[in-house]
Amino acid sequence: MSLAEAVILGIIQGITEFLPISSSGHLILVESILKLEVSSLKSFDVTVHVGTLLAILIYFRKDLLDARRFPWLILGSIPAVLVGFFLEDFIDSIFRSAFAVSIMMLITGFLFFISESLSFKAKDSKLNIKNVLLIGLAQAFAIIPGVSRSGSTIFAGTLLGMKREEAARFSFLLGSIAIAGAGLLTALDIESAPINLEILFTGFLSSFLAGFFAVKWLMTYLKQHSLRIFGMYLMFIALLTLLVLK
């Protein structure tokens, strides 16, 4: 992997981790374009995840210091932990292809596009056990490449009556646990191999900077706009990829 490729992959990870357009899906598509086996570069994968995790920790530092949120974040993380532990390898073996990613992006994009017509009228609803578990289930679905983690949880939150920006806030706080867990599991799976520190630092820095500005922009954007633009983007990318694969 070259420095330029590390920058590209770091930026893609940083942006797509937070924008509701699926980081895993985009990385798989880029793997196909650049002819890279990023899935085998475990240390790089961990590094860019640490970059995006740091972006969340810094941007939402005040929210993360609120101990009242901890029980909800732990509860909401349970579905993804269970699905990841028991089904991740099975799901990865089926959906880790450009074709499968495109289909899932197409479905996700369609749901985002019609999200406003499906959503309940936003209200100042407080988190409760049912809503948190449902949002957690939505996050668990994002283990499938092509399904956006942030998008699925924001979508679920708005369906349950949360304001978009509040759904996004809870989504990212919940995502901090998911990203940390995914990075830890990947780190534990790393076999001893030569590590290029320059490549790792480049990936880390680019993913952190891209991630920080992506989450900052999205939190402002969602105050006045829906997920429809992201739905249109996902459907466009999915259809374009399917045409190329044809």
Per-10-residue mean pLDDT, the chain, length 246: 86 89 81 64 77 92 88 92 81 80 91 76 71 92 88 90 88 86 65 70 94 95 90 92 82
Which of 164, 166, 169, 161 lies closest to 122 in space, CA to CA?
A: 161
Q: Which residue has the tokens 């475990």?
A: 42
At 191 the pLDDT is 58
Question: In whole angstroms, what is the distance from residue 174 CA to residue 138 CA?
Answer: 11
pLDDT attached to residue 121 = 58
Q: How far apart are CA 209 and CA 188, in angstroms?
A: 26
- The per-residue pLDDT for 244 is 83
Q: What is the pLDDT of residue 220?
A: 93
C-beta separation of 63 from 118 below 8 A: no
CA distances 36 to 5, 127, 128, 170, Å, are 9, 42, 43, 34
**What Cα–Cα distance (Å) separates residue 236 from each residue in 10, 21, 101, 115?**
23, 11, 13, 17
Q: Could you tell me the maximum CA-CA distance found in the chain, to the nearest angstrom?
A: 53
Q: Are 25 and 152 in contact (CB under 8 A)?
A: no
Q: Which pLDDT score is estimated for 205?
A: 95
Question: What domain range includes position 228?
Answer: 3-245
pLDDT at 11: 93
The per-residue pLDDT for 146 is 86
- What's the domain count of the chain? 1
